[in-house]
Homo-oligomer: A and B are copies of this chain.
């Protein structure tokens, strides 16, 4: 790698002159126009790239944000990451991404990703997904934590899945559905329970049902048909849009009309829901909003130099419904973002 000194020798000047020229920074140094040109040409020809380590050591800051996610395949996370990158770029920050994949297996080795990233000189960090406790002491700089699934751990923003199904079920009530299946037995199911309690409906009108959505899940399909035909369940809230789509196809191929005979609501707001027929009504996770909030909060914390972890906000973000035709509404679909159909970007 070529360095300033080498350029300086070739240009017949001292090394600080080269530095001053290439950085357009005074530093009190004045250089003649002729030499400036010469230096710039040389730097270009030799392909000079500044040594970051040296610059950084000397105190020069390209303000940099680290985003550490526990994976880049989950579309929710990639949406968050993309949104955040865009925002920080616009604000003049450089963004470094890394992942703590596999760290679960290597607890002993420590959190390579975060350690490495930190040591590369960050001004702030956004942590997405799970992280383990000993990241804590490493994080002695401003950070914001998103969507941490472990309840005993900290987070700043998390999406309120419970309210998601709560809203979905309440909406189905508006379409006169009383017997409803929910594809979850955990937090999303509990949101449905709340809606039933609030509406004073008997709990056996609410069916929890778990399926992988796999092709060979034959029992599940039979059971689904039984619930519909024998027990008169008339609607279903899925745990994600893909499975909702699959169930839609399955029921349609069994002669049921959606939504006339059976109503469906998906979950996640994935763009895929705009490609079923009828389009899915779905619970949208406001990832853009979440990114926006995380962005603002991190800027704030960096300004005040607050080391995030001790001051977590633990704010829940409420999902909302996007109406396709599958729930029984007259479909009023806004097709904002369909140009990248396999992307996960339905949110308004």
Name A residues whose Cβ lies closer than 8 Å to a Cβ of B: 47, 49-57, 62, 64, 71-75, 78-79, 81-82, 85-86, 89-90, 94-99, 101-102, 112-113, 115-121, 137-138, 140, 212-216, 240-243, 245-246, 248-250, 252-253, 257, 268, 270-272, 274-277, 279, 331, 333, 335, 338-345
Known interface pairs A85-B101, A96-B98, A215-B279; A74-B115 also in contact (CB < 8 Å): no
Known interface pairs A49-B138, A53-B54, A215-B331; A82-B89 also in contact (CB < 8 Å): no
Q: Is the CB of A81 within 8 A of B85?
A: no
Cβ–Cβ < 8 Å partners of A270 in chain B: 342
Cβ–Cβ < 8 Å partners of A243 in chain B: 275, 341
Query: Shortest Cβ distance from A246 into chain B, in angstroms?
Result: 4
Q: Is the CB of B78 within 8 A of A72?
A: yes
Q: Is the CB of B71 within 8 A of A82?
A: yes
Q: How many protomers of this protein does the assembly include?
A: 2
3 closest A-B pairs by beta carbon, nearest first, are A52-B119, A53-B56, A249-B277
Cβ–Cβ < 8 Å partners of A113 in chain B: 94
Contact residue among B49, B98, B252 (Cβ-Cβ distance under 8 Å from A249): B252
Cβ–Cβ < 8 Å partners of A57 in chain B: 51, 53-54, 57
Residue of B nearest to A250 (CB): B277
Q: Is the CB of A275 within 8 A of B213?
A: yes
Cβ–Cβ < 8 Å partners of A89 in chain B: 101-102, 112
Q: Is the CB of A75 within 8 A of B140?
A: no
Q: How many angstroms between the C-alpha atoms of A47 and B119 in the bound complex? A: 12
Contact residue among B47, B271, B342 (Cβ-Cβ distance under 8 Å from A268): B342
Contact residue among B82, B121, B252 (Cβ-Cβ distance under 8 Å from A53): B121
Q: How many angstroms between the C-alpha atoms of A57 and B120 in the bound complex? A: 12
User: Which of A64, A98, A119, A252 has the most B CB atoms < 10 Å from its CB?
Assistant: A119
Q: Is the CB of B97 within 8 A of A96?
A: yes
Q: Is the CB of B73 within 8 A of A82?
A: yes
Contact residue among B56, B99, B240 (Cβ-Cβ distance under 8 Å from A342): B240
Query: Shortest Cβ distance from A10 into chain B, in angstroms?
Result: 18
Query: Shortest Cβ distance from A314 into chain B, in angstroms?
Result: 24
Cβ–Cβ < 8 Å partners of A241 in chain B: 342
CB-defined A-B contacts under 8 Å, sample of 6: A47-B140, A73-B75, A90-B102, A94-B116, A241-B342, A246-B275
Known interface pairs A49-B140, A85-B99, A119-B52; A342-B342 also in contact (CB < 8 Å): no
Residue of B nearest to A117 (CB): B96
Q: Is the CB of B52 within 8 A of A121?
A: yes
Query: Shortest Cβ distance from A275 into chain B, in angstroms?
Result: 4
Q: Is the CB of B240 within 8 A of A276?
A: no
Q: How many angstroms between the C-alpha atoms of A242 and B55 in the bound complex? A: 48
Query: Shortest Cβ distance from A20 into chain B, in angstroms?
Result: 18
Cβ–Cβ < 8 Å partners of A97 in chain B: 72, 96-99
Cβ–Cβ < 8 Å partners of A75 in chain B: 73, 75, 342-343
Q: Is the CB of A120 within 8 A of B215?
A: no
Cβ–Cβ < 8 Å partners of A72 in chain B: 72, 78, 81-82, 85, 97
Cβ–Cβ < 8 Å partners of A52 in chain B: 53, 56, 116, 118-121
